[in-house]
Chain A
Amino acid sequence: NAGVTQTPKFQVLKTGQSMTLQCAQDMNHEYMSWYRQDPGMGLRLIHYSVGAGITDQGEVPNGYNVSRSTTEDFPLRLLSAAPSQTSVYFCASSYGGIQYFGAGTRLSVL
């Protein structure tokens, strides 16, 4: 049972480049979410999904897109990377209010 798997673990981008952060879960959870974690700040919600085909914005959605075509996968797309998007990104799936997090993707935008 792998839980929540995120790829890649590390990524360096140049300003303006685009990329997709992958997230997959094998627990059949309907609720999935993406957070970013910056020093001195709590985890901030970017986007979330309550099931396949349904997504919504969180606290800090600008510059990010998501889709949810299957229960298992919830990719996060950076459309045109900016230095302000340098952060650690966590994907989570949730059941019964408990969130299960992936190991994170550390992203640097130069």
Chain B
Amino acid sequence: EDQVTQSPEALRLQEGESSSLNCSYTVSGLRGLFWYRQDPGKGPEFLFTLYSAGEEKEKERLKATLTKKESFLHITAPKPEDSATYLCAVQEYGQNFVFGPGTRLSVLP
């Protein structure tokens, strides 16, 4: 059975304090791994897609990386506006998406 876990469950950072969020997955054949950002009271918003081990994607202060068993979302010098819940999801070939429970990130000024 496909499984996606995320750690930590919650993370509090000071503004400018870099850190990483983890997404671990077990699938038979990965078609893609997706990162989303979700603000309170809103739907998830797409950030990145990663397809193969070794791939990296960057957007502003965020960088996503992928290995065969996990993905990391690195946040460099975060700002308070980066506070949100970050969700990862995996899609196996011919299957639907499986989401992890998310990491709640708070960045304090």
Contact = CB atoms under 8 A, between A and B. Distances in A.
Contacts of A99: 34, 36, 44, 46, 89, 97
Give the interface size class of chain B.
20 to 34
Nearest to B102: A42
A52 to B, nearest CB: 19
Contacts of A43: 44, 87, 89, 99
B46 to A, nearest CB: 5
A90 B32 contact: no
Give the interface size class of chain A.
20 to 34
B46 A42 contact: no
- 4 smallest CB-CB distances across A and B, nearest first, come from A101-B43, A42-B99, A43-B99, A42-B101
B97 to A, nearest CB: 7
B96 interface: yes
Contacts of A45: 96-97
Contacts of A40: 101
A42 B49 contact: no
Nearest to A97: B32
Contacts of B99: 35, 42-44
B91 interface: yes
Interface string A47-64: 010000000001000000
